[in-house]
């Protein structure tokens, strides 16, 4: 069946982590900006976090400030690239120490659903002054289970608060952190995890955890996203779309939620840092760390596809 095989080919291409057509934050200018405005240009800045690109900020060091803002300002965040993987969850966060991040805006499921876009992020009014790190993070809806992050060094002027308390940024799809499955066929898209991170207090003098603030939810009207805002002192809007039935598409095979692999570091051969087929499933490999087992869709099996892998129907099946 031609359409089915075409869909499988597209699925195989999305599995290949060697594909560079992902997404990144192009404004404010991030660390490693490929335009060469901040430090050494990184022409693979679209790549997800992983070996060689650790959390936070892909392991990139702090650089000069590229943007000056005041509390309450709105930052137009430009997201661009060649493959938005069906959209997903985006989070915009601040840090003063480059390690601990408090979210100031969360967009659930609809972030880049239709491709590149610019999202306005309004900063809270109760921010301290000082040099800070502005972070964009993204859990993609379709494809390899990944986490993307870019960081921009900014300066906050005119703040009168000594600290800011907000929801702790969610880290997912990384070894030792929660795994969010593909957001297809009504599967759990992991949105509840964003309300379970607790809160964190950040300041130019350091960061510390705090009790999570309660959330209030307003009902959407006119098709606008639902917005949830923690009680003060945190002012962190969470955009949630109304629930609508998506138009029918080509038949797809539902995927199972990923399950962690045994902690046997010998699961991947030769110290691989890519992926390997393992029967009907495949392994995501990390150097010197336990491999993570990921399932193919029911009825399919893992097979080599050039230097990549694909989940395809068993040989002889149409």
What pLDDT does 287 receive?
Answer: 54
Q: How confident is the model at residue 270 (pLDDT cuts 50, 70, 90)?
A: very low
Give the number of other Cβ atoms within 10 Å of residue 110's Cβ: 18
Does residue 46 sit in the same domain as residue 182? yes
DSSP state of 269: G
Element (H, E) at 120: strand 117-122
- How many angstroms from the chain centroid is the CA of residue 19? 17
Residue 4 within a domain? no
Residue 125: is its pLDDT beyond 50? yes
Does residue 226 sit in the same domain as residue 279? no
Best CA proximity match to 119, nearest among 89, 144, 99:
89
CA distances from 136 to 46, 112, 304 (A): 12, 13, 34
Angle at 83 between CA 289 and CA 19, to 5 degrees: 50
pTM equals 0.61
What pLDDT does 36 receive?
Answer: 77
In this structure, the strands spanning 215-217 and 102-107 are: unpaired
Does residue 31 sit in the same domain as residue 72? yes
Q: Per-residue pLDDT averaged across 14-21, rounded?
A: 39
Sign of CA dihedral 13, 5, 187, 243: positive
Residue 1 within a domain? no
For the stretch 75-102, pLDDT in tens is 999 999 878 878 899 999 999 999 999 9
Does residue 121 sit in the same domain as residue 44? yes
Residue 12 within a domain? no
Best CA proximity match to 307, nearest among 8, 6, 19:
19
If one compares 111 and 250, the residue with the highest pLDDT of the two is 111
Does residue 287 sit in the same domain as residue 195? no
Does residue 175 sit in the same domain as residue 270? no
Does residue 44 sit in the same domain as residue 167? yes
Does residue 181 sit in the same domain as residue 278? no
Residue 261: is its pLDDT beyond 70? no
- Of 240, 275, 299, the last residue of a domain is 240
Does residue 207 sit in the same domain as residue 91? yes
CA distances from 14 to 11, 88, 109, 200 (A): 5, 15, 18, 35
What pLDDT does 160 receive?
Answer: 93
Range of the domain at 199: 24-240
What pLDDT does 275 receive?
Answer: 61
Q: How confident is the model at residue 38 (pLDDT cuts 50, 70, 90)?
A: confident
Residue 152 within a domain? yes
Q: Per-residue pLDDT averaged across 30-59, rounded?
A: 90
Does residue 149 sit in the same domain as residue 208? yes
Report the domain count for the chain: 2
Residue 288: is its pLDDT beyond 70? no
Q: How confident is the model at residue 300 (pLDDT cuts 50, 70, 90)?
A: low
- Of 205, 240, 275, the last residue of a domain is 240
Residue 124: is its pLDDT beyond 90? yes
Does residue 169 sit in the same domain as residue 219? yes
If one compares 110 and 163, the residue with the highest pLDDT of the two is 163
Q: Which two tokens stand for residue 233?
A: 């002192």
Question: Are the C-beta atoms of 167 and 147 separated by less than 8 Å?
Answer: no
- Of 177, 207, 240, the last residue of a domain is 240
Helix ranges restricted to H, the chain? 2-15
How far apart, in whole angstroms, are the C-alpha atoms of residue 116 and residue 93? 19
What pLDDT does 226 receive?
Answer: 36
CATH of the domain at 122: 2.70.50.70
Exposed/middle/buried for residue 98 (C-beta within 10 Å: 0-12, 13-18, 19+): middle
Give every strand in the sheet of 164-167, ordered side by side. Answer: 164-167, 199-203, 206-210
Give the number of other Cβ atoms within 10 Å of residue 218's Cβ: 11
Does residue 270 sit in the same domain as residue 125? no
What pLDDT does 303 receive?
Answer: 66
Residue 231 within a domain? yes
């Amino acid at each position: 069946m031609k359409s089915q095989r075409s869909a499988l080919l597209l699925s195989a291409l999305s599995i290949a982590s060697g594909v560079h057509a992902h997404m990144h934050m192009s404004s404010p200018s991030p660390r490693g900006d490929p335009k060469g405005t901040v430090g050494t240009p990184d022409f693979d800045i679209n790549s997800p976090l992983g070996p060689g690109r650790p959390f936070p900020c892909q392991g990139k060091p702090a650089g000069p400030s590229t943007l000056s803002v005041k509390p309450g300002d709105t930052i137009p965040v430009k997201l661009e690239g060649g493959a938005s993987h069906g959209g997903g969850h985006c989070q915009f966060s601040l840090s003063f120490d480059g390690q601990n991040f408090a979210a100031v805006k969360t967009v659930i499921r609809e972030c880049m659903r239709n491709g590149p876009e610019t999202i306005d992020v309004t900063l809270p009014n109760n921010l301290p002054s000082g040099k800070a790190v502005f972070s964009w993070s993204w859990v993609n809806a379709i494809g390899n289970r990944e986490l993307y992050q870019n960081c921009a060094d900014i300066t906050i002027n005119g703040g009168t608060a000594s600290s800011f308390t907000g929801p702790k940024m969610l880290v997912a799809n990384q070894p030792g952190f929660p795994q969010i499955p593909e957001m297809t066929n009504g599967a759990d898209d992991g949105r509840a995890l964003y309300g379970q991170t607790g809160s964190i207090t950040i300041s130019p003098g350091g960061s510390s955890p705090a009790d999570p603030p309660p959330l209030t939810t307003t009902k959407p009207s006119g098709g606008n996203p639902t917005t949830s805002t923690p009680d003060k002192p945190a002012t962190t809007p969470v955009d949630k779309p109304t629930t609508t039935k998506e138009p029918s598409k080509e038949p797809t095979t539902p995927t199972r939620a990923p399950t962690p692999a045994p902690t046997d570091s010998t699961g991947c051969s030769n110290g691989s840092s890519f992926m390997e087929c393992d029967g009907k499933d495949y392994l995501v490999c990390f150097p010197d760390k336990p491999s993570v087992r990921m399932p193919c869709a029911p009825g399919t099996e893992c097979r080599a596809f050039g230097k990549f892998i694909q989940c395809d129907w068993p040989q002889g099946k149409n």
